[in-house]
Amino acid sequence: MRSHTLPLQGRDARRVRLTGEEAVDLHSRGFRFSIFRPGVEECRLSLPLEVVVDVEAATLTIRQSEAAR
């Protein structure tokens, strides 16, 4: 399972909005996207995924299973 933690920055766990830079970073780490247009900041992670919000640490952790082979 891939996992990456980002600053919460007021984001909603139900609709994770990534900056273009964050999307490129996640893509390079092997995360899968259903929409990947970082130049216009239109990126959507593929399902299934899990989002964990830690309010005290002000972080958001995204977990996505490895691609099936």
Own/partner contacts of 16-20, CB < 8 Å, gap of 24 or more, are 16/45, 16/51, 16/60, 16/62, 18/43, 18/45
In a domain, 6, yes or no: yes
DSSP SS3 for 25: helix
pLDDT of residue 68: 54
In a domain, 7, yes or no: yes
Q: State which residues of the chain have pLDDT below 50.
A: 69
Query: 51: closest CA among 37, 24, 31, 34?
Result: 31
Tell me the pTM. 0.85
Residues 2 and 34: their CA atoms lie apart, in Å, by 16
pLDDT of residue 66: 85
In a domain, 69, yes or no: no
In a domain, 26, yes or no: yes
Q: At 8, list the tokens.
A: 């919460």
DSSP SS3 for 38: helix
Domains contained in the chain, number: 1
